[in-house]
Every structure is written in structure tokens, then in C-alpha cells.
Amino acid sequence: MLQYFVSIGTLAAITALLTLGLNSRWGLGGQLDLGFYLFVALGAYVDGVLTLPAASTQPGVHYILGLNLPFVVGFLGAGIVTGLLSLAIGSVALRNLRGDYFAIVTVATTIIGYTVISQYTPLFNGYNGLYGASQPLEGVLHLGPQAYQTFYFGLCVVILAAVFVILELIRRSPFGRAVKSVREDEVAAAAFGRNPYRLRLKAYVLGGVVAGLGGSLFMHYISAFNPASWSPLETFLLYGALLVGGTANSFGAVAGAVIVLVAFPQLTQLIPAFGSNSNAGPAVQAIAIGLLIIVVLRFRPAGLLPELKTMSGQLRTRGSWNWRARRAAGSGES
Amino acid sequence: MNTLLLGIGFGLVTASVLAISTVALSLQFGVTRVPNFAHGELMTVGAYAALVADRAVHNTLLAALAAIAAGCVLGVAINKLLFGPFRRRKVARLTLFVLTIAASIIIQNVVLLIFGGSTQPLPGGGGTPHHLGPFLFTTQQEVIIVLAVAIMAAIHVLLKYTYFGRAQRAVAENLPLAQASGINSAQVINRTWVLTGAMAGLAGFVLGLTTGGLYPAMGFQFLLIVFAAAILGGIGQPYGAMAGALVVGVTMEVSALYISSDYKTVVAFILLILALLLRPQGLVTARRPAAA
């Protein structure tokens, strides 16, 4: 029973991390990015090819690199590569496209990426994907399978907490407020000397980096990754979590991920399966998430934990949270 | 040269299916101003309705009518049940777009729940191809091409010469002005949903015939190609949609001659992205006063 909760808890922590990444793009930047999961998948793949041994050791398996590097390198590498891809896509798409057109291009990009990854075998082993991912730090710790699961759960929670704090600091920083001002009123922000395109791009890249880090954790959690284990549709489920939890609120993002994507599916598993239809479980879950999105948009458009838009929420940034202001004040005194 | 012509032939068939669906999407976008992400599901439901009807009565024509009816009903349902409660309150366009995404997920999975995930062939598909000029078509493909051309002509007549068509264009052009001129905009919008739902249902049926099988994500996967064609033609513009469908359909099939056909959709999406970046106003632009 404990192992069950540890396993579910690890999944919850990773999912919450992904939802936080999406929140940077959609909550903070206000960009409807429907291609978010491409970055998660790419993070998993990049981590895989950095940490796995060379492909030539197994017959019929092909993938690039295979450097057998430690987890830390794979984890950071995943974030760097997805950040760079976000920069490349964002610098083209965000400069030229707004709102729904941007959304459509991101779906198209994801499906192009999905097709290329599945079809072009030399890249990430095509449909068979990568498997046999390492257990981070197990070589040093020698914990054994059960204790290791608990350790990995702890590792994911620590990383989630670190990312959460960093994103909160960014959100409360002058940069975070500038991004939100672009989301609220682009013309007004531009009139005050902000560059809407650059601010949106930064929020977009930030989300991409978090997606890559989450993908890396996901890779080592399920130890294998292939086109059957992700689909471009996954992004919509993350939106469900974010909309229900509370767009642009980090606590809301985490709560939404835990409620909608972890607790909810676990509960729907208790519903006895309909006849012999093996698709019933995921289908009922997806239908429920769709209905949940509609109901929340209708009756509680800001989500369960709405974003704090009042000055009292903003004022807290003037206190101990705002390291930049504090440093500026400190250097002034010395 | 010969294979190129054959590729163009296949492209014309794809373009025909695409044109019916794209014109519907474009007309509907014109009056609602929301890119309908559930448009693919109108096609899927139409195709499955045809499958059920065909199993019951074994008649292709009745199956097509069932597809049209299912598309109509679902189109009106989206307008009344999904958008209705939100229309009274002023909500952002992006919210309505997210709503259509939710509707798309729900409908797709209801179909999955009822019919299962396996591919089911639509009876009446296939047939032996014969030469027609330089092209190679089955009789059924010829019927689809003729059908698409007839529908395009009918849409042209409808938009140009009927009261509904003029009202529809007026609402698409300027909603407050249309309302001030005494047009019942709610009725026009609802009738547009009936019309475009019917077209999408029929498009789903012919998509099922030409691709040989139905599966719950068929409409969703086809939807992005439809968006590519609609945006290439200038979204909201029915004539542009026809041109966009032709370009995308033919390019996809001709590309399959030179590179793996697995990349067919990739080609369509690259066209979509290029269209959005280079010519966001579309191939066919409306003649409007400079102030508009």
C-alpha cells in the first residue's frame, strides 16, 4: 500500500512540475500553447540519449549519442535543449502570430515533431523508443528497489519544490509583473516601454525549460519512453488541470495537477470497467476532464485557487521576497 | 510525368474531401469568429452515423443522409448547448476556443467508448480504378469529386443569391451593423451551424470512404489539415477555403510520390506554418475598404 502511494506521489510531483511549466506559458505569458507536451517528450528523449549507453551495444536499436552520462547531466541537458527549441520556435511564432493562430501553429509543430520522432528511427529509435533508463544515484546509494522508489519520490518532491520557489520568485519579480502586464493589456504595456514580444518569449522559454526537466524526471520514473507513451493530446489534459486549479496561480497549478490528473484518474479506476472495452478507463477519464473544463469555465472561470490580482498580492513583492530590490537597497547603503 | 499526373489525381480526391470540410469550417468561423476545434468531431460523428445507418439498411445514399443529419444535430448542439450559456456573458474568444477543445475531447472519447478504438471499414469503399484522361480513378472517387464541385457551386449560389446567404455574409462582415439592419443574427448563426454541420458530417462520410476506415480520432487528425487549408485560403473566406483545399490536397499527395507517405501530414503542416508566417491574410483576400 505504501509503495502504491509512493508511486502515485512521484507521478503527482512530476505532473505538478509539468503543470507549473505550462503555467509559465499560459498563466503568466497568456499564450495558448497547445504544443507543450512536445517539449516534455523531447526532454525525456534528450535525457535518455545522454544517460543511456551507446545504441550500438544492442542489435536493431538506433539512437543518437548514447553517452552514458550521469543523471544530473541528462536532467540539465534536457532543460537546456528544450529551452533552446522553445527559443527557436518562440522567436518565429511569437513574433508573428497572436492568440488562436499561435495555438494552431503549436499543435501543427507538435504533430510534425511527433511524426518525425516516430518515423525517423536513427534519432530516438522510432516507434520502439528508448528503454532501460538508469536509476539516478542508485550507483552511489545502493538502496534496493523498494527503498529506491521512496528516494526517487523524495528527489522529485525536492525538485518540484525548488522549481516552485524559483517560479514564484520570478512571478513576483519586476520581470514577472511586466509579463503579466503584457498579458493583461499589450498596448498599455508597450506604451510604458515594455517589449511585449521579448517578454512573451522569455515566459515561453521558461515554460519550455521546466517541461524538459519534467520530461527528464518522467523518463527515469517509467524507465522507458516511446511514441505510445505520449501523445500531443496530453497537453489538453494539462490545460484541464491548470484551468481547474487556477490559471496563473502556482498553488492552483499544483493543486489542479494533483486533483485532475492523479487523484481523479485513480478514483475513476474504481468504476468497474464497461464490458470488454479496454479503452473505457482512459475514455471516461478524458470525458470527465472535458466536462470539468467546461463546468469550471462556466461557473468558476478563474479556477479553484484564483490568481491574486489585488495590490495586497503585489505588495508582498516589496518585502523580503524581492531579492533584487533588497540587493539594490543593500548596495545603496554600503 | 505519368506518376506526377497520378499523384495530382489522388490530390484532387483529397482536395475534394478537404474542400467540403474546409468551406464548412470557414463559413462557421466567419459568423462565430471562433476556430472550432470540435469541427473534426463533426466529421467523425457523421462518419460513424453513416456506419450505423449502413449496417442497418445497407444503402450508401441513406448512410450519407445519416451523416448529414448527425452533423446538423451536433452542430446545433455545439451552438446552443456549448456556446449558448457563455454567449450572454462577454467572454474572451480564447475561452470559447478552449471550450471547443473540451468538446472535441469529450466527443472523441464518447465515440471511443461506444465504438471502440479499432479501425472499422465503411461498406461501399474501394472499387477498381479505371483511366479517365491521364488520371486513374475509381467510380466512387469520381462521384466524390463531382459532389465536391456541386457543393462548392451550391455554396456560391447560396451566398450570392439568397437572403440567407446575404444575411450570413453581413453577419460575418460586421455583426453590430447586421443587427442594426434588422437581421436576426442569432437565427443566421444557428442556420450557419446547421449548414456547416451538415457539410462536415458529409465530409466525414466521404473521408471514411476514401481512407477506408473509421476510428475515433479520424476527424481530429484530419482537422489540422483542414485548418491548414482554411488558413492558407484566408480563414473565414469560403472562396479562399476552396483554393486552400486544392493547394493542400494536391501538395500532400504529390509529396507522397517523392518522400515517404508517412510525412504527408507533415507537408500539410509545414504549408500551414509557412502560410501563417508569410501570408497571414490568406491566398484570397476580401475586397474591403482600406478602413476596415
Interface test with B, best of A277, A294, A299, A300 (most B CBs within 10 A): A294
Q: Is the pLDDT of residue B1 over 80?
A: no
The domain limits of chain A are 2-231
A115–B280 C-beta distance less than 8 A: no
Name the one residue in this structure whose C-alpha cell is 534536457.
A78
**Are A50 and A65 in contact, with CB atoms under 8 Å apart?**
yes
Q: CB distance from A273 to chain B under 8 Å?
A: no
A97-107: pLDDT as tens digits:
777 788 888 88
Give the pLDDT score at A206. Answer: 95
Nearest chain B Cα distance for residue A328, angstroms: 40
Q: CB distance from A75 to chain B under 8 Å?
A: no
Q: Is the pLDDT of residue B24 over 90?
A: yes
Residue of A nearest to B106 (CA): A287
Give the pLDDT score at A19. Answer: 94
| Interval B73-88 mean pLDDT | 89
Cβ neighbors of A229 (< 8 A, separation 6 or more) are A129, A222
Nearest chain B Cα distance for residue A107, angstroms: 8
DSSP letter for A58, please: S
> B180 or B1, which is more confident?
B180
| Interval A307-322 mean pLDDT | 51
pTM for this entry: 0.83
Q: Is the pLDDT of residue A323 over 70?
A: no
B102–A290 C-beta distance less than 8 A: yes
Q: CB distance from A104 to chain B under 8 Å?
A: yes
Chain B residues touching A243 at Cβ < 8 A? 98
B273–A108 C-beta distance less than 8 A: yes
H, E, C per residue of B217-258: CHHHHHHHHHHHHHHHHCCCCHHHHHHHHHHHHHHHHHHHHH
B94-103: pLDDT as tens digits:
788 888 989 9
Residue B223 sits at the vertex; the CA angle it makes with B155 and A295, to the nearest 5 degrees, is 105
**CA–CA separation, A39 and A42 (whole Å):** 5
| Interval A1-18 mean pLDDT | 90
Please provide residue A184's backbone torsions phi and psi, each rounded to the nearest 5 degrees: -75, -45
Q: Is the pLDDT of residue A198 over 50?
A: yes
| Set of cell numbers at residue A331 | 548596495
Q: Is the pLDDT of residue A153 over 80?
A: yes
* A215 residue type, one letter: G
The pLDDT confidence band at residue B215, using thresholds 50, 70 and 90, is very high
Q: Where are the alpha helices (DSSP H) in B78-162?
A: 84-87, 93-115, 139-161
Q: Is the pLDDT of residue B203 over 90?
A: yes
Give the pLDDT score at B147. Answer: 92
| Interval A168-176 mean pLDDT | 90
B242-282: pLDDT as tens digits:
888 999 999 998 888 888 878 888 888 888 888 877 766 65
Nearest chain B Cα distance for residue A145, angstroms: 36
Question: What is the dotted CATH code of the domain comprising B2-93+108-117+129-278?
Answer: 1.10.3470
B259 three-class SS: coil
**CA–CA separation, B207 and B218 (whole Å):** 9
